[in-house]
Chain A
Amino acid sequence: MTNERPEGRDILVKVDNVSMQFGANLVLRDVSLEIPVGQTLVLLGESGCGKTVLLKTIIGLIRPTRGHVMFNGIDLTTLSEKEISVLRLRFGFVFQNAALFDSLTVGQNVAFPLRQHRKMGADEMRELVLENLAAVGLPDDVIFKKPAELSGGMRKRVGLARALILNPELVLYDEPTTGLDPIMADVINELILRTSRRGMVTSIVVTHDMATARKVADRIVMLFPLSRLEPNEPQIIFDGSPDQLDTVRDRRVRQFVKGEAGQRMMEMRATAGQLINKTE
Chain B
Amino acid sequence: MASVADLGRPPSHSFIDRLTNWIADWGQVFIEGITALGKFGLFVWRTLAWTIQLPKSETIFPNFYSIGVSSLPVVALTGTFIGMVLAVQSYAQFAQMGLETRLGAVINMTLVRELGPVLAATMLAGRVGSAMAAELGTMRVTEQIDALASMGANPIRYLVVPRFLACLFMIPALTAMADFMGVAGGHFYSVWVLGIDIHHYWSNSAAFVTTFDLFQGLIKSVFFGSAISMVACYQGFNCDAGAEGVGRAATASFVYSFVVILILDLFLGILLESINQSIETAGTGLM
Contacts and interface: CB of A to CB of B under 8 A. Distances in A.
Interface string B203-221: 0000000000000000000
Given A278-B7, A278-B11, A279-B2, A99 B152 contact: no
Interface stretch (B118-126, B138-146, B179-187, B226-234): B138-146
Given A97-B142, A97-B143, A99-B146, A116 B7 contact: no
A71 interface: no
A61 B150 contact: yes
Contacts of B139: 101-102
Nearest to A159: B147
Interface string B90-123: 0000000000000000000000000000000000
Interface in B138-162: 138-139, 142-144, 146-154
Interface string A173-213: 00000000000000000000000000000000000000000
B198 to A, nearest CB: 50
Instruction: Classify the secondary structure of A's interface with B.
Output: helix
A125 B14 CA distance: 72
A105 interface: no
B102 to A, nearest CB: 51
Contacts of A56: 146
B52 interface: no
Interface string A217-246: 000000000000000000000000000000
A112 B151 contact: yes
B2 A116 contact: no
Interface in A85-128: 85-86, 88-89, 91, 93, 95-97, 99-102, 112-113, 116-117
A85 B147 contact: no
B1 interface: yes
B151 A88 contact: yes
Given A95-B147, A96-B143, A279 B154 contact: no
A113 B152 contact: yes
Contact of A117 (B143, B144, B148, B152): B152
Interface size on B, as a range, is 10 to 19
A69 B138 CA distance: 29
Contacts of B2: 278-279
Nearest to B62: A103
Interface size on A, as a range, is 20 to 34
Interface string A48-64: 00000000100101000
A81 B154 contact: yes
A56 B138 CA distance: 19
B47 to A, nearest CB: 13
Given A275-B7, A279-B2, A279-B7, A116 B153 contact: yes
B144 to A, nearest CB: 5
Given A97-B142, A278-B11, A279-B2, A113 B147 contact: no
Interface string A123-149: 000000000000000000000000000
B7 A91 contact: no
Contact of B147 (A89, A99, A117): A99
A85 B152 contact: yes
A101 B150 CA distance: 13
Contacts of B142: 97, 99, 102
28 contacts: A56-B146, A59-B150, A61-B149, A61-B150, A86-B152, A88-B149, A88-B151, A88-B152, A89-B152, A93-B146, A93-B147, A95-B146, A95-B147, A97-B142, A99-B146, A99-B147, A100-B147, A101-B144, A102-B138, A102-B142, A112-B151, A112-B153, A113-B152, A116-B151, A117-B152, A162-B151, A278-B7, A279-B2
3 interchain residue pairs of minimum CB distance: A99-B147, A99-B143, A93-B150
Given A95-B150, A116-B151, 7 more contacts: A61-B150, A91-B150, A99-B143, A102-B138, A112-B153, A162-B151, A278-B7
